[in-house]
């Protein structure tokens, strides 16, 4: 432990020990994730988007391409189009975090596709559709729209509403369906 990891991200932990502490990984978990990373990156020290998608291909029988594109965007902290091992572990740590605020920050970044600081209904439809495709190739955009409509109705916001990060975090703490979508549990 304690060895430095690849290129530094914007913020985040400096080394494996910090990562373990920050995201509550135990040594076995971090070893397993590094093994998965290494298996897919070959001789390089990073994953391309396609290689990143292959990690998800091991688990899902649908088409993980569209969903992993969005996840890749949130993992690639320095926006160089590649995910190094530190970014990979940080992304895994955030997306599986038991700390609700860390998880909400990550979820907001997934939904805010264009990164303008707001989530629109169209962005939620896109993410929901991408997730449905990952589970089942035959899913349709219409199904994603119906799901999103019912979600908006349940949350009690109208179609043109721009959801701020603050609002997303406060509403999602009480109404977890938006997080459940990202965990494949709500669809």
Site for Ca ion, rule CB under 5 A? 76, 78, 80, 82, 112, 114, 116, 118
Smallest distance from Ca ion to CB 141, Å:
19
Interatomic CA distance for residues 24 and 40, integer angstroms: 24
Q: How far is CA 173 from its chain centroid? A: 17
DSSP, collapsed to helix, strand or coil, labels residue 3 as coil
Smallest distance from Ca ion to CB 12, Å:
12
Q: Which is nearer to Ca ion, 8 or 78 (CB)?
A: 78
Q: Are 71 and 131 in contact (CB under 8 A)?
A: no
Interatomic CA distance for residues 77 and 85, integer angstroms: 11
**Nearest alpha carbon to residue 131 among 48, 187, 88, 58:** 187
Q: Which is nearer to Ca ion, 99 or 116 (CB)?
A: 116
Q: Which is nearer to Ca ion, 48 or 78 (CB)?
A: 78
Interatomic CA distance for residues 75 and 73, integer angstroms: 6
Interatomic CA distance for residues 98 and 96, integer angstroms: 7
Smallest distance from Ca ion to CB 115, Å:
7
Q: Are 92 and 84 in contact (CB under 8 A)?
A: no
Q: Which is nearer to Ca ion, 36 or 135 (CB)?
A: 36
Q: Which is nearer to Ca ion, 116 or 138 (CB)?
A: 116
Smallest distance from Ca ion to CB 112, Å:
4
Smallest distance from Ca ion to CB 75, Å:
8
């Amino acid at each position: 432990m304690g060895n430095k990891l690849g290129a530094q991200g914007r913020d985040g932990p400096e080394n494996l020990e910090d990562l373990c502490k920050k995201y509550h990984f135990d040594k076995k978990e971090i070893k397993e994730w590094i093994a998965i990373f290494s298996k897919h990156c070959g001789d390089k020290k990073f994953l391309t988007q396609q290689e990143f998608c292959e990690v998800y291909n091991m688990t899902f029988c649908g088409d993980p391409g569209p969903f992993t594109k969005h996840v890749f965007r949130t993992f690639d902290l320095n926006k160089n189009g590649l995910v190094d091992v530190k970014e990979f572990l940080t992304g895994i740590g955030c997306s599986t975090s038991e700390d609700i605020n860390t998880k909400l920050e990550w979820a907001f970044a997934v939904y805010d596709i264009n990164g303008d600081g707001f989530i629109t209904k169209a962005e939620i439809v896109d993410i929901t559709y991408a997730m449905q495709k990952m589970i089942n190739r035959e899913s349709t955009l219409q199904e994603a729209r119906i799901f999103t409509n019912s979600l908006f109705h349940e949350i009690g916001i109208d179609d043109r509403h721009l959801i701020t990060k603050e609002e997303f975090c406060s509403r999602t703490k009480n109404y977890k369906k938006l997080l459940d979508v990202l965990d494949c549990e709500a669809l």
